[in-house]
A and B are shown apart, each in its own frame.
Chain A
């Protein structure tokens, strides 16, 4: 009986000694957008994605319906009521696929809203930095960024 038990334990041991993979952290926490910003609750649509090879950054442009339609029609000029949000991340290698880069650290969130004041178009541009979404007060380069955002075309989605 004792020898039977020994054999059973040995067999169990053999079959239970396969490599056990550590449970991975699957959420991309580096790239996650703070809940306080609630991007998915803003009723925005994804307009396009882009990246810069030299900066190793990748971005995602969102817009409200007016902004989305403008980008679809390649208007490339501000229209009243448009709201854009551009999110930029540093890229990181995809640990699950050699051959891919995915968003890494959250670098910036830029918001552009097109309003009007006494029938004059007003562009409200804000930039928030990093995970803490710290507002940038320096307006240097803001007009280039506004032009960059306005000039984006929507990705073709059949």
Chain B
């Protein structure tokens, strides 16, 4: 018995030693344009996010031991791809804003920082007070455009253009064709997105509406389709907000076989009245999954459906 234990320990020790030889290089590329924010905001983000979401990764000694090192290396590679605070200028202004809201939501929903990372890096923990600082910072960015004539003009331009009159329906890179019939569907909910100044209606096909009625929504049944349409907000001086220019329509299609690679959901987004499919490569769906990940317990769906 004692011999077996000694041999096992030696073998394990040998494997452990050999593992240390395999070390993918983790580099810190130059910081092209660091994210700027008030110091109390910046310090939280640096502490909780910068190890994986910047070019200023600070590896601790325990991060350098295999197999942890490989996991950390993957986290950094993936993290920088999704969000990199050191290359902030590579994002357009609206995208920078959207990324910040998404990040704070990921923190609030407990998806970030990743549990295993926080467990080891206790200083990365975002406290309730930290979260409140981040949320106040974002709230301060919200501005109301009362009587915004440029938004009115955008809507008028859309009324007078005949975009989208082409007979062929656009198709996204993952093979989802635009579904014009959503306009005849019932609703799942509406939403006011004050983070980006849009009003939204989430439509659901018959299968979705029936699923809500029968409380059969976690998971949603195959055949469920949601269409979420978004418009600019047009606000008058009395606080009435109505829909302005059409921004986009997004679909989520449940087909556990066809979309098995993206957790059973097919994602697509068609922008502007020209219905331009979103995404430069088929990998755009990874962006969808990343954003929806905090809803893993809710079959990746954010919306609280209204029974109607």
Residues of A whose CB lies within 8 Å of any CB of B are: 18-19, 21, 23-24, 26-29, 31-33, 35, 39-40, 45-46, 48-55, 58, 60, 91, 94-103, 152-153, 155-158
Contact = CB atoms under 8 A, between A and B. Distances in A.
A29 B308 CA distance: 10
Given A27-B212, A28-B306, A54-B239, A99 B195 contact: yes
Contacts of A95: 304
Contacts of A91: 192
B306 A103 contact: yes
Residue among A27, A49, A101 with most chain B CB within 10 A: A49
Interface string B181-197: 00110110111111110
A25 to B, nearest CB: 9
B49 to A, nearest CB: 17
A18 B235 CA distance: 46
Nearest to B273: A158
Contact of B138 (A26, A51, A99): A99
Given A40-B186, A50-B241, A94 B104 contact: no
A158 B245 CA distance: 11
Given A103-B190, A158-B275, A51 B304 contact: no
- Residue among B192, B209, B302 with max Cβ neighbours from chain A (10 Å): B192
A46 B241 contact: no
A49 B215 contact: no
Contacts of B218: 23, 26
B273 A156 contact: yes
B240 A50 contact: yes
B104 A98 contact: yes
Given A97-B302, A98-B108, A26 B217 contact: yes
A156 B137 CA distance: 33
B243 A60 contact: no
What is the interface of chain B mostly: helix, strand, loop, or mixed?
mixed
Interface string B162-194: 011000000000000000000110110111111
B190 A49 contact: yes
Interface of B: 101, 104-105, 108-110, 115, 135, 138, 144, 155, 158-159, 163-164, 183-184, 186-187, 189-196, 199-201, 203, 209, 212-213, 215, 217-218, 229, 231, 235, 238-243, 245-246, 249, 273-275, 294-295, 297-298, 301-308
A54 to B, nearest CB: 4
A100 B195 contact: yes
Nearest to B235: A53
A139 to B, nearest CB: 23
B246 A157 contact: yes
A49 to B, nearest CB: 5
A102 B308 contact: no
A107 B108 CA distance: 30
B241 A52 contact: yes
Contacts of A26: 217-218, 298, 301, 304-305
Nearest to A55: B239
A60 B201 contact: yes
B193 A157 contact: no
B235 to A, nearest CB: 7
Given A49-B243, A52-B240, A103-B189, 5 more contacts: A50-B199, A50-B240, A60-B201, A98-B105, A158-B273
Nearest to A153: B242
Given A32-B306, A96-B304, A102 B104 contact: no
B243 A51 contact: no
Contacts of A28: 189, 304-307
Given A32-B308, A52-B239, A21 B201 contact: no
21 contacts: A23-B297, A27-B304, A29-B307, A33-B308, A46-B201, A49-B199, A50-B241, A58-B192, A60-B187, A95-B304, A97-B193, A98-B135, A99-B105, A99-B193, A101-B191, A102-B191, A102-B303, A102-B304, A155-B246, A156-B243, A158-B163
